[in-house]
């Protein structure tokens, strides 16, 4: 009898623990869902007072021109507040695109070196180096860009603004480089040795094998790395806040000062009254940003999953 009771107790304990662990297990899913809910809950309230067209631009009387002008601007603190998302999205992409290209080229190069060329000794040094680089706080990279690189770059390119999208994208490229290398390298190392051997057996040289066999075989992993890197570059906050100059312009000039979605939120949320139109507008920017990065993350996750499944076969 006693024995049975003990068993029952244990079984209940096990059951309880498993349920508690389950709750913890789904916590990350729950948090993603909560982020969705609480961003969009505040974001949609923007439309309570504002016109959806405001997100593109606003017809505003221009004293200088003397007539109404369609202004695509983010001017949250002015007589007629304007909340056009275009300059912010433009700024984000103007930083994230070059950053992804730079870190993509460098990252694939590094990944090839690490997976195809590096002797184990060198790998043992380079891999931790990447982790240490990834561990540098983004505010420090932003500070280095601001304090050392910006003036240096201005002297080379003779740009009008010291802080511009290019300086920002250099910093962002540095920040997303480690994760890109890691994923691309994993993809290349997952390419079976047989494929390389077959290529060599057909008389291909080392680099013909790399470019003709390894890279094409790992292309899904490499693209996942690039997509993920692009998502991280869009979401980078402190570097762009410190190094891009924060002028909200619709421009295609990489050497002009820009303001990204992330920097815009970081710069303005601190001084805004909760419940105002401006406040909701900032959450709307956050929701747009989150949608972008969530989509990119999801795509890269799917690509990686597909690759893993293919390699398991």
Q: Where in 234-293 is the site for other proteins (CB under 8 A)?
A: 234-238, 241-242, 262, 265-266, 269-270, 274, 282-283, 286, 289-290, 293
Report how far residue 223's alpha carbon sits from residue 59's, in angstroms, rounded to the nearest whole number: 42
Inter-CA distances, 80 with 57, 59, 124, 250, 270, Å = 12, 10, 58, 19, 21
SS3 71: strand
Q: How far is the CB of 144 from other proteins (least distance, A)?
A: 5
SS3 113: helix
Does 151 sit near other proteins (CB under 8 A)? no
Q: Among the candidate windows 49-57, 93-101, 177-185, 247-255, which touches other proteins by CB under 8 A?
A: 177-185
Site string for other proteins, 40-79 (x = CB under 8 A): -xx-------------------------------------
Report how far residue 123's alpha carbon sits from residue 125's, in angstroms, rounded to the nearest whole number: 5
Cα 69 from chain centroid?
A: 35
Q: How far is the CB of 151 from other proteins (least distance, A)?
A: 13
Report how far residue 68's alpha carbon sits from residue 40's, in angstroms, rounded to the nearest whole number: 32
Please say which residue, 226 or 282, places its beta carbon nearer to other proteins: 282
Among 188, 228, 249, 254, binds other proteins (CB under 8 A): 228
Please say which residue, 60 or 113, places its beta carbon nearer to other proteins: 113
Which runs of consecutive H residues, i.e. helices, occur in 113-218?
120-134, 138-144, 150-157, 165-189, 193-201, 206-209, 215-217
Among 97, 200, 255, 294, binds other proteins (CB under 8 A): 294
Does 190 sit near other proteins (CB under 8 A)? no
Does 38 sit near other proteins (CB under 8 A)? yes
């Amino acid at each position: 009898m006693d024995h049975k009771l003990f068993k029952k107790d244990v079984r209940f304990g096990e059951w309880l623990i498993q349920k508690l662990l389950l709750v913890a297990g789904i916590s990350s899913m729950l948090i993603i869902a909560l982020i969705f809910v609480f961003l969009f809950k505040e974001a949609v309230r923007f439309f309570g007072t504002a016109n959806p067209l405001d997100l593109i631009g606003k017809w505003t009387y221009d004293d200088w021109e003397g007539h109404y002008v369609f202004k695509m601007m983010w001017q949250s603190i002015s007589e007629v507040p304007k909340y056009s998302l275009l300059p912010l999205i433009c700024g984000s992409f103007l930083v994230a695109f070059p950053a992804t290209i730079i870190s993509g080229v460098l990252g694939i190069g590094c990944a090839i070196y690490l997976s195809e060329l590096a002797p184990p000794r060198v790998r043992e040094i380079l891999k931790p180096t990447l982790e240490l680089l990834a561990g540098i706080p983004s505010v420090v990279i932003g500070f280095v860009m601001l304090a050392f690189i910006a003036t240096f770059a201005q002297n080379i390119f003779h740009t009008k603004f010291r802080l511009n999208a290019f300086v920002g994208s250099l910093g962002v490229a540095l920040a997303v480089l480690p994760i890109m290398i890691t994923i691309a390298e994993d993809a290349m190392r997952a390419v079976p040795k047989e494929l390389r051997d077959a290529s060599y057996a057909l008389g291909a040289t080392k680099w013909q094998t790399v470019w003709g066999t390894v890279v094409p075989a790992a292309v899904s992993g490499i693209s996942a790395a690039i997509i993920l890197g692009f998502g991280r570059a869009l979401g980078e906050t402190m570097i762009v806040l410190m190094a891009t100059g924060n002028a909200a312009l619709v421009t295609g000039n990489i050497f002009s000062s820009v303001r990204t979605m992330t920097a815009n939120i970081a710069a303005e949320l601190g001084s805004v009254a909760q419940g105002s139109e401006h406040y909701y507008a900032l959450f709307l920017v956050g929701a747009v940003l989150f949608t972008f990065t969530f989509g990119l993350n999801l795509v890269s996750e799917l690509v990686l999953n597909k690759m893993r499944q293919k390699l398991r076969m």
